Structure 1
Amino acid sequence: MKMKWGALLLGAASGLASAQSSVTLYGIIDSGISYYDHATASGGSVVGMPTLTGETPSRWGLKGTEDLGGGYKAFFVLENGFQPGTGALNYGGRLFGRQANVGVSSDYGSLTLGRQMNMTMYAISNADVIGPSIHSLNNFDSYLPNARSDNAVGYMGKFHGVTLGATYSFGRDAAGPAGPAATNCGGQVPGNFIACRQYTALLAYDSASFGVAASYDVMRGGAGASAPLNNSAYTDTHNVVDGYVVLGPTKIGVGWIRNNVAAATHLQTDIFFAGATYFVTPNLSFDAQGVRYLQRGSAGKNDASSTLLVARANYLLSKRVTVYTSVGYMFNSALAANPVAAGGTVGAGLDQLGVMVGLQHRF
């Protein structure tokens, strides 16, 4: 009997010794100087440091994995978002506002619990060549660069190029109220099962030369949440269909994003985008994108429309340091007031020019 228990203990100890674990500290610090005109009805301009994003939002995080054996791994992600100009926390003042989750992965996919990126963000990421930059399609819909869910259960599996994903949130946004990244809809309310629920789904295919994706995203409101979703009967639905193709040093991405808000008043918006990235050398690349935005109210009429043109140049000083410049121009219709810069302002019906020169360090 003693020999049997000794063998079992020896086997367990040897299994623990062979388990592989790791913890990684990583991040991006991105800032610079920006300019945009027509920030007020009288045409005033603004020069300074951006408050929300540069080429990408600044963040730092910790991620770790633990080998459980049999092809299974446990993992966690803690990711913070902050403003380099002031050191302030983004995402409603949360310490880990970008991600805070734990999960298990295997060849069958991953199961994730906690605050996490949902399927709308994954659907857009490959086709949108500009990404969450200061001049981007995200300026038309502030939810898009903040497509994350609190209190969520998520699944994602990749099988021979096909990606299947879904999330279900019991209370989509527990922080707030403080803008698009914190809408004060924590949910999990006794007696109201649907308050602040959210579910998203993704179907995508990626190969070495092209890819396509489609996603579906429904958010419910709740009492006391930020308008217009201040009632659990109200919904906000996003649909994304997009794709990309890689032709040598060039990547071309196109897509369509529809948003329907069914609240006290109905609002429908459509975003159409097409863009390209071209690598002149491994260190030098150029991006360009055109975006068309249409907004329709309860009467079904075109209430406001805008067109955004963006051009960007990137140069890698090293593997981790990039200098860049971005130029955007926003054409607004008479009723539109969409700013060219993330977090910016513009007078109604005024066109707007935006320029930024920035420095990004990744670690």
Structure 2
Amino acid sequence: MKRILLASALALAATGAHAQNVTLYGILDTGIEYVNHANAQGDATWRMPSNTGGLMPSRWGLRGTEDLGNGLKALFTLESGFGVDTGVSGQGGRLFGRAAWVGLSGNWGTVTLGRQSNMTFFALLDSDVMGPAVYGLGSLDNYIPNTRSDNAIGYRGTFSGLTVGATYSFGRDVAASGGPAATNCAGEVPGDRKACRQVTALLKYDLGPGGVAAAYDQLRGGTGAAGGLSSSDTSDTRTVLNGYYRFGDLKIGGGWIGRITRAATRSEANLYYLGASYALSPAWTLDGQVAHLKNKTTDARSTLATVRATYSLSKRTAVYGLVGYMDNNKNANLSVSGGQALAGLPNGLNQTGVMLGMRHSF
């Protein structure tokens, strides 16, 4: 009898193990960066960037699926961002600041609940050649590497190459400190349904070697929120149009991001980008991108040019080098690294950044 019970228990355990799959994964990415014009005296600095990485931000996570039968699956992701330089958690110090959601998936698409990437992330995924790299589009708009929403319900489905999706957040950002990844807008305020609400939508079509995408992203403000969005009547809206195409080993991507901010004052800006990626060999990849940001309200204009070379030592390990140059006009003051203003430095100052680093995934 004991043998029968033990065999039954082992059979049940084995069945459970096959029914649910959990994966531990992660990326460690860091390097040494040189940036000129780093202070009011015009001095350069050498540093190890925090929380950004060179190719992509460092993270670790757990991803799981459970087969519920009849094509239905339960899903979850817990993902934590951190800086390899100090080990400090990113995204405003949250334990799972990159993702913390649970959902259901079927042939009709996927529904997710929790902190998750919104549709702006998915719209930029193929056309933005540099992605979340240290001298990428985030240097012109620091929201772009932080396209996540707290307290959100999301849907995304793909049907014969056409992808549709949307998210709705009841309170887009509960963290209070940490730059663009923590803007103090928790929402869920009784009597003010608009407070800290965020709505995003996606329409994307991929066919063969290319595709196009469009997205809409509106953040509402709330009491005490950062970025001048101090009430639910204020808003920050981005519209995205882009596309990409592959010619064998060459990929070209580009697009436009229009932004309208309605806060104490109205601001309107356009961001254009065009990039290319070429696989020189199975190990070597060369990327380049040019992006231009113009604030139509203030006539502030910044142009960012970036070149990157990556050498894959294996499927999981790569070394790389990046060079970025930020050209600011007399009304602009953006840093080449990190998308922040050049604190204490005059408008019109240009900046160059160089980074050598290493990425390992597991």
Unaligned runs of 5+ in 1: 1-12
Q: 1:334 aligns with which of 320, 330, 333?
A: 330
Change (3 A) 1:66 1:352: same
- Separation in 1 of the partners of 2:192 and 2:300? 36
- Report what 1:44 is aligned to: 43
Match of 1:138, SS? helix
- Separation in 1 of the partners of 2:62 and 2:100? 10
- Separation in 2 of the partners of 1:122 and 1:344? 24
**1:125-144 C-alpha deviation (Å, 9 max, x unpaired):** 11001011111111111111
- Separation in 2 of the partners of 1:344 and 1:227? 13
State whether residues 103 and 113 of structure 2, in contact with CA within 8 Å, keep that contact through their aligned partners in structure 1: yes
- Separation in 1 of the partners of 2:339 and 2:261? 22
- Report what 2:172 is aligned to: 172
- Report what 1:201 is aligned to: 201
- Separation in 2 of the partners of 1:296 and 1:214? 22
Match of 2:124, SS? helix
State whether residues 142 and 339 of structure 2, in contact with CA within 8 Å, keep that contact through their aligned partners in structure 1: no
Using the TM superposition, give the Cα deviation of residue 190 of structure 1 relative to its aligned residue in structure 2, in angstroms: 1.0
- Separation in 1 of the partners of 2:103 and 2:127? 27
Match of 1:312, SS? strand
- Separation in 2 of the partners of 1:268 and 1:81? 31
- Report what 2:304 is aligned to: 308
Match of 1:228, SS? coil
Change (3 A) 1:17 1:327: closer
Listed as ranges, the matches of 1:28-107 within 5 Å are 28-53=27-52, 54-107=54-107
Using the TM superposition, give the Cα deviation of residue 348 of structure 1 relative to its aligned residue in structure 2, in angstroms: 2.1
Letter in 1 for 2:129: V
Q: Does 1:134 align with 2:131?
A: no
Match of 1:281, SS? coil
Listed as ranges, the matches of 1:227-306 within 5 Å are 227-297=227-297, 302-306=298-302
Using the TM superposition, give the Cα deviation of residue 45 of structure 1 relative to its aligned residue in structure 2, in angstroms: 0.9
State whether residues 40 and 345 of structure 1, in contact with CA within 8 Å, keep that contact through their aligned partners in structure 2: no
Match of 1:180, SS? helix
Match of 2:105, SS? strand
The TM-score normalised by the length of structure 2 is: 0.93
Change (3 A) 1:46 1:114: same
The alignment of Structure 1 onto Structure 2 pairs a total of residues equal to: 347
- Separation in 1 of the partners of 2:202 and 2:38? 38
Change (3 A) 1:114 1:204: same
Cα RMSD for the two superposed structures = 1.7
Percent sequence identity is 51
Letter in 1 for 2:317: V
Listed as ranges, the matches of 1:107-186 within 5 Å are 107-186=107-186
Using the TM superposition, give the Cα deviation of residue 179 of structure 1 relative to its aligned residue in structure 2, in angstroms: 1.3
- Separation in 1 of the partners of 2:139 and 2:17? 49
Letter in 1 for 2:321: T
- Separation in 2 of the partners of 1:214 and 1:33? 36
- Separation in 2 of the partners of 1:208 and 1:43? 49
Letter in 2 for 1:147: T
- Separation in 2 of the partners of 1:237 and 1:266? 11
State whether residues 177 and 226 of structure 1, in contact with CA within 8 Å, keep that contact through their aligned partners in structure 2: no
- Report what 1:3 is aligned to: none
Using the TM superposition, give the Cα deviation of residue 343 of structure 1 relative to its aligned residue in structure 2, in angstroms: 6.0
- Separation in 1 of the partners of 2:199 and 2:227? 20
- Separation in 2 of the partners of 1:157 and 1:120? 15
Using the TM superposition, give the Cα deviation of residue 19 of structure 1 relative to its aligned residue in structure 2, in angstroms: 6.1
State whether residues 141 and 339 of structure 2, in contact with CA within 8 Å, keep that contact through their aligned partners in structure 1: no
- Report what 1:9 is aligned to: none
Using the TM superposition, give the Cα deviation of residue 225 of structure 1 relative to its aligned residue in structure 2, in angstroms: 1.4
Using the TM superposition, give the Cα deviation of residue 191 of structure 1 relative to its aligned residue in structure 2, in angstroms: 1.2
- Separation in 2 of the partners of 1:322 and 1:73? 34
State whether residues 51 and 343 of structure 1, in contact with CA within 8 Å, keep that contact through their aligned partners in structure 2: no
Letter in 1 for 2:47: G
- Separation in 1 of the partners of 2:193 and 2:177? 22
